[in-house]
Copies of this chain bind each other. A is one copy, B any other.
């Protein structure tokens, strides 16, 4: 089949206006949010139903052309843009959000629904989505499931895989798998939804999801606390996770990061006393005011003047800004290299403290800013300075992570960016086991070629 024949067939499936071949219309689908990854697509198709998704996959399989599934294109590892010549399958039109099951706390959402759209529907009914992240207005539920997105509440509610009660997805040969609505407890064979979650579009195209919701918290309190060094902050975080029943989020950032946030986002410091490392602690409850418990839990750490606590929405928002606007502040300084890694908690402080010197050894002019979800052992290492295609600092950080027994991707995934690291991280046996599944479900390698596996 020629490219033109395939394009014609795709037009027949989705209609003229949903098969984009004009370079200008394709452009926003061909480069991702990081500006570090881009490639040319044969076409961008926007199906309006699961049946159309199946037909597109069959057409592409027949033509031997790869398919790159795409949601909000907010990924950070090059997994949702074409490498060259593939068909981009945009799920944005499958954006329907169903009616919330009020008693069960569940909702069905199309793959193309944005997180904020689902949050709005859920919150109107006293429920909420268990995962939240900064890209909520663009990131889609399908993409978030495909990458097993995490965010700030993983320590409380788990990542997207954990929110998935049911799913609908299409295999490479056009077979539709459907388990909607799905049940919280369902031990009927392999956990196919959990397998597709985090498979980064290499096993199936997710078209709809049944999500468990979590109670919308009536009461919240946030504290930011300064520490003299990373190890003390990590020890405090570990202690809070065990003793503070209302804990919702545990974030760490450094004074260097806060400096950038204050410069670029016009955010005031939480207190006059500056400290090298800060913890942001959020507590929440369905039925009780958590602020007294939060203050009491912080007392043992003798943080004195280096603590700010807020129970009111404006005050909480102000403290959260110190952490949430890190991404924006980094981007204002340049195009950062973003390494999203995790290590066992016992090595967390070592990673945060050693990453800057490991980076400087590779590039003496580079600046390193670490922040992240300390409650999950997750660090976002941001490096400013090196050119976008200079990977020496990335290598330095990932080598350090492997030395510390960590994972080269905590929540962003492998994409195309970290393909060379997958075997080093997981080992030959595990990658071979993954590849056996990939070949069993997608023998021709149609789905997201080049993602996860080299040369796949």
Contact = CB atoms under 8 A, between A and B. Distances in A.
A426 interface: yes
A207 B184 CA distance: 27
Contacts of A441: 433, 436-437
A376 to B, nearest CB: 5
A154 B432 CA distance: 33
Contacts of A431: 189
Nearest to A430: B177
Interface string A190-203: 11101101110001
Interface string A295-309: 011000000000000
Given A185-B410, A189-B426, A411-B187, A245 B215 contact: yes
A20 to B, nearest CB: 30
A121 interface: no
Contacts of A199: 189-190
A408 interface: yes
B103 A345 contact: yes
A413 B286 contact: no
Given A245-B288, A246-B245, A188 B105 contact: no
Given A104-B346, A238-B104, A185 B286 contact: no
Tally of this chain's copies: 2
B187 A244 contact: no
A161 interface: yes
Interface in A315-357: 342-346
Contact of A426 (B171, B188, B433): B188
A405 interface: yes
A194 B194 contact: yes
A54 to B, nearest CB: 11
A101 B345 contact: yes
Nearest to A210: B344
B285 A178 contact: no
A235 interface: yes
A401 to B, nearest CB: 11
Nearest to A344: B181
Given A183-B343, A183-B344, A243-B215, A188 B411 contact: no
Given A179-B426, A243-B287, 13 more contacts: A103-B235, A147-B187, A183-B377, A186-B407, A187-B198, A187-B412, A188-B425, A189-B414, A191-B197, A192-B433, A194-B194, A215-B241, A215-B243
Interface of A: 101-106, 126-127, 147-148, 150, 154-155, 158-159, 161-162, 171, 175-179, 181, 183-192, 194-195, 197-199, 203, 215, 234-235, 238, 241-246, 285-288, 293, 296-297, 342-346, 373, 376-378, 405-414, 422, 425-427, 429-434, 436-437, 439-441, 452
